[in-house]
Structure 1
Amino acid sequence: MDKLGPRHRMCRRIGQPLCGRPNCPATRRPFPPGQHGRGRKRVSEYQMRLLEKQKLRAIYGVSERQMRRYYERATRKTGVTGEELIRQLETRLDAIVLRLGFALTQRQARQLVSHGHVRVDGRRVDVPSFQVRPGQTIELTEKGRNLLFVREALELSPEPPPYLYRNREEFQGTLVRYPERDEIPLPVPVEERLVVEFYS
């Protein structure tokens, strides 16, 4: 995560709460930090595409190298490239853990996976970028179920999206099918078309 810099830096830069937290500084100060943060600037087309790409990177917590790899995979798919890109990001293991309500933020979900508290089909997986396939079951270990922030997240998080099934009592969830673009609950609007234009 050190590649992404401070937690709320990109939120302030964009002026939107990318982290999804209600206490994000961007909700109180929706302008870039620094002496000239409030100054009005003309935004070029390149900068618009760059910011959309940076938004997507910050939401899912991926590096630039990973992001380019996801884009290259998406171009080889038969569907719309932008939708395929977001679908790949959304089926990462840490993103699925977040959507199932086992964590409140993407960073918490990433930590939960990397510390070995998550099993996929009964096998422990500690790689946050692991791609979950439809039909696979995600569950927490005994130690993971007793973590305070996990229980807090289950109380505060909403119901998972339609492409996920959650068993709250067993701390389990299943990816029923691949998500559609309009079903993915991103914290802020993202124009994936501009991301594709940035890389193309």
Structure 2
Amino acid sequence: MSEPRLKKIRRLGTDIPGLTRKRTDRRPYPPGQHGQTRQRRKVSEYRRRLEEKQKVKLNYNLSERQMRRYFRDAAHDDGVTGDALFRALEKRLSNSVFRSGMAVTERAARQLVSHGHILVDGTRVDRPGYSLSVGQTVELAHKMRENVQVLESVQRPPQVQLPSYITRTDDGFLFRIQSEPLRALVPFIVDDRAIIEFYAR
């Protein structure tokens, strides 16, 4: 059985907006019967690096194979590896749908994409990992614009601030990629260096 999402973020000690709307601030201690009284043990360097990597996988809903591929591509980039890694992850179609406010989590955004409800430049795209380019327009298929869950998502206050690389229409059903995503716009706390060290070992 999969570990509950709130339990995962409490174990990691930080909010993961792509995974769940729930937050750790109400119970900022590890899960379990003695979580409130038990002090967090000093963790090994390996575990610290592993947990940083897990944050990224959970937020962007990635398998280990996908995560390794993104890291490998970023490591071959001419720029800073961490910047290249998160630039590629932020440009994933499912993530951009989530960041635009069309879906409450990355997982919900992935479903919209996989079920063929998302159009890129007027063409249906059903691959969550499709990499968007600057200038491309993404919109929700018309048949889904009266869906209760989608309407609740676009009408409620966004879970995370709309990033500056995305501009969207007032109704929330269409957005455009204005620029390349910056590392500073990643909506959760993560140590790039720890991830690089994990895969470089």
TM-score normalised by length of structure 2: 0.87
Judging changes above 3 Å, is the alpha-carbon distance between structure 1 residues 9 and 64 closer, same or farther for their aligned structure 2 residues?
Answer: farther
Q: In the alignment, which residue of structure 2 is the partner of 1:63? A: 63
For the Cα contact (< 8 Å) 1:61–1:106, is it kept in 2? yes
Match of 1:11 in 2: 9
Q: Residues 104 and 157 of structure 1 are in contact (CA less than 8 Å); yes or no, is this contact kept in structure 2?
A: no
TM-superposed deviation, 1:5: 4.8
Deviations 1:18-61 (A, max 9, x none): 1465544x333333333454343121111111111111111111
* Runs of 5+ unmatched residues, structure 2: none
Letter in 2 for 1:32: P
Q: Give the percent of matched residue pairs that are identical in Structure 1 and Structure 2.
A: 46
Shift of 1:74: 0.3
- Name the counterpart of 2:180: 178
Letter in 2 for 1:55: K
Given candidates 25, 28, 34, the residue that maps to 1:27 is 25
For the 8 Å contact 2:154–2:171, the answer to whether it is kept is no
Once residues 146 and 194 of structure 1 are traced to their aligned partners in structure 2, the CA distance between those partners, rounded to angstroms, is: 43
Q: 1:77 to 1:185 in 2, by over 3 A?
A: closer
Closer, same or farther: CA 170–109 of 1 in aligned 2, 3 Å? closer
* TM-fit CA distance, 1:71: 0.2
SS at match of 1:153: helix
Unaligned runs of 5+ in 1: none
Residue equivalent to 2:97: 97
- Structure 1 residues 131, 197: closer, same or farther in 2, change over 3 A? same
Q: In structure 2, what is the Cα distance between the partners aligned to 1:154 and 1:61?
A: 21
> Counterparts of 1:108-123 in structure 2 under 5 Å?
108-123=108-123
Q: Which amino acid aligns with 1:165?
A: T
- Structure 1 residue 170 displacement after superposition: 7.1
- What is the letter of the counterpart of residue 166 of structure 2? L
Cα-to-partner distance string for 1:133-168 (whole Å, 9 max, x where unaligned): 111110000122111122222222446221111113
SS at match of 1:28: coil
**Displacement over 4 Å in runs of 4+:** none
**Please, which moves more after superposition, 66-75 or 15-24?**
15-24
